[in-house]
Structure 1
Amino acid sequence: MRETETEAGADSGSGADSGSTGKRPLGVGMVGYAFMGAAHSQGWRTVGRVFDLPVRPVLSAVCGRDGGAVRAAADRLGWAAAETDWRALIARDDVDLVDICTPGDSHAEIALAALEAGKHVLCEKPLANTVEEAEAMAEAAERARARGQVAMVGFNYRRVPALALARRMVAEGRLGALRHVRLTYLQDWLVDASFPLTWRLRKDRAGSGALGDLGAHIVDLAQYLVGEPVAGVSALTETFVRERPLLEGAPSGLTAEGGSRLGTVTVDDAAVFTARFPSGALASFEATRFAAGRKNALRLELNGSEGSLAFDLERLNELSFHDHTEPAASSGFRRILVTEPDHPYVEAWWPPGHGLGYEHTFVHQARDLLHAIATGARPEPSFADGLSVQRVLAAVEESAAKNSVYTPVLG
């Protein structure tokens, strides 16, 4: 037994403070342990120490292809055991839920196998690399639900308290009839043309580029906040840097000046598209990894007949609200500090005014999934919701392909 295994077992075995001690254990097995795996691990480690849960999560095993690296990750992230084959992880008797934190090209295969084996599933977004894969996953999830299994897709930004509050306010009619929805998600980590050709820049692994990585989040948020699916899109995409240095050990490439080995970028660097909702509301979306100076800038605004809401992830404990029914002489946007105990999720945390952060969205995600498992409720977002987002992403790609030829307007 590894020195830290006892500690991991104690942490994950209790899985909670006294609020969930003695509750029925639910073993979690996670596939993948990089960025998202670390974030999900934080959620699983913490959720039972904050919320009163109907079941007790146990961090049973984590899986990765490199035996040494995955064992080190198990020690670091708090998992009791390590596996190098996801099939072996699914087959474990102490794994009741499979958490998929791998690149998109493996989502469908792992999720379908886990559902067939009778496991609950949490799958990172986007649900799959293609609509066909997402359809198969949603159909399998629906069949599994009849057997008492739950399948949820990990759109964690739904769990930001301010955005959950925004959804509540829209549903309550505080904005009246929605007219405009605008969302942007801007990052800058690809601005440097010497950044290597990682899996996120390969269509066979990632499915798409900024569109699936960032655009999936804002499409889901738009449909979540509006309460309707996107009905149609018109889009443009662009790949600004079409070749990048190959990572060491990459099997193939071409030789450029100076002997550099370059590979082709096969995904989009940026996507811009407009959309319409069945109610008539118009939407605009922008997703890019080429916005210099923007690290993780997700911003949105909703405009309705009776008011507006605005949100900025860099100020994630705040929601801006304008009530257009108030007298013009004293009206305007006002800041709502979303830290009150009657705000979504906040009652379990700190006194008013003490803010939360990015990592808390994964704690909230784990909480909601565990409640869905215990009650048999349909989880949100479900695999069907993930499929809805996948269809929008595919429509954006199709529209962008049709709009790819343009004629410059000359003065």
Structure 2
Amino acid sequence: MVGLTSKEVRIGMVGYQFMGKMHSHAYRDIPFFFDPKVKPVLQAISGRNESAVKEAAEKMGWASYETDWRRLIERDDIDVIDIVTPNHTHAEIAIAAAEAGKHIITEKPLALTVEEAERMYEAVKKANVTHMICHNYRFVPAVQYARKLIEEGRLGRIFHVRANYLQDFIIDPSFPLVWRLKKEVSGSGALGDIGAHSIDLARFLVGDFKELVSTMETFVKERPIGEMSGGLSAKAEGDEMGEVTVDDATCFLARFENGALGVFEATRFAGGNRNKNKFEINGEKGSIRWDMENMNNLEVYFADDEPGLQGFRLINVTEEVHPYVGAYWPAGHIIGYEHSFIHLLYEFLNGIVEGTSPKPNFEDGVINQKILAAVEKSAETKQWITL
């Protein structure tokens, strides 16, 4: 893979809503806090609604806009294609971008199916371009520090990982039937939307999956047809109802290649949980806990602490010795959700210069897609599935 020699990299982004806003913010802040090997230039965004995409471009600081993503890929003044569109569009856009020699970063999950994901991976390998997938939670400093402790052997042999990703934004049966609730657009429901993050974090921290068994449930079978209206909000378009074709909740058990056991739960029906992405990892020498709703804190237990002082200690991961946070504020001055994207895109930009594809990349996306497919197959067959 040939690295970039220019001092700037020109970004073309397909989509401009929730994640588009997040990525735009991150690109603009990277040079403020870090010294990337190349500076991102917000060159152009694309979207089908001309008035809306024009307004988004002006508000978020993009130099121009297109109403067709194909035109964005054709432009000679674009080096990177950033895909923040619904899942069913990822494969077509990414493959076309790779064939045009563009570097690519896309939101998760990588694709709708394993076959699509594999075609995307083959395309970026053939084109020899830099590629990443946006599992941003890997880049939370507390998660990075947890990985460091595990790699150093501070927890010893890993016995358990339990991960829950709990939301409640669709618990109201009158919440509209948006794209996230249609299998032909999203691929799956809670599983692919939020469970995919737990799967990626488990692979990042514990290792590869060996086998799993699962169950899935759709609690509300029909909803009024509607569209997303920003963030995780939506509005109905009328009284017409449509069928929900994805899971509302998924639970599964897993065994890992290293012998660890995993318990996973992903649901958008956990009342009172707005975005509770959490995990606990137990090893022979200690344990680690993390919760996204308190993302700067890491709970750590070491078995060799003296009797009477044993128990979980709370680490505020904001010291200069912790990953990434030395670029920000003094210790104890916390950072937020948006900073995980700054860290991810910072690594992506450096990868373009170095001619590498930092993890998680499309290879990880394929592996994660195979796990998502295994979860669905297990729920359908009611059997353990070997990966």
Unaligned runs of 5+ in 1: 1-21, 249-258, 405-411
C-alpha distance in 2, partners of 1:164/1:47? Answer: 18
**1:36-76 Cα shifts (integer Å, max 9, x gaps):** 11111111111111101111110000110011100000011
Matched, 1:367 2:346: yes
Matched, 1:333 2:316: no
Match of 2:70 in 1: 87
**Within 5 Å, which residues of 2 pair with 1:198-237?**
198-226=178-206, 228-237=207-216
Contact 1:197 1:244 in 2 (8 A): yes
C-alpha distance in 2, partners of 1:377/1:67? Answer: 35
Match of 1:407 in 2: none
Contact 2:348 2:357 in 1 (8 A): no
TM-score (norm 2): 0.93
Deviation at 1:244? 0.2
- Picking from 162, 181, 200, the partner of 2:142 is 162
Residue identity opposite 2:26 in structure 1 = G
Matched, 1:312 2:286: no
- Picking from 26, 45, 48, the partner of 1:65 is 48
C-alpha distance in 1, partners of 2:6/2:127? Answer: 24
Unaligned runs of 5+ in 2: 228-237
C-alpha distance in 2, partners of 1:171/1:216? Answer: 23
Residue identity opposite 1:362 in structure 2 = F
Percent of aligned positions with the same letter in both sequences?
52
TM-score (norm 1): 0.88
Larger Rg: 1
**1:332-351 Cα shifts (integer Å, max 9, x gaps):** 11011100111111111111
The ranges of structure 1 where at least 4 consecutive aligned residues each deviate by more than 3 angstroms after the TM superposition are none
Match of 2:258 in 1: 279
**1:284-316 Cα shifts (integer Å, max 9, x gaps):** 100000001100001100000000000011110
Deviation at 1:327? 2.3
Match of 1:27 in 2: 10
Deviation at 1:144? 2.6
Residue 76 of structure 1: SS of its match in structure 2? helix
Contact 1:229 1:388 in 2 (8 A): no
C-alpha distance in 1, partners of 2:26/2:359? Answer: 17
Contact 2:98 2:123 in 1 (8 A): yes
Give the aligned length: 369
Match of 1:12 in 2: none
**1:363-395 Cα shifts (integer Å, max 9, x gaps):** 111111011111122311010001111000000
- Picking from 89, 103, 106, the partner of 2:89 is 106
Relative contact order, higher structure (CA 8 A, sep 6+): 2
C-alpha distance in 2, partners of 1:168/1:142? Answer: 29
C-alpha distance in 1, partners of 2:127/2:297? Answer: 38
**1:199-253 Cα shifts (integer Å, max 9, x gaps):** 0000010000000000000000000011x211111000000000001128xxxxx
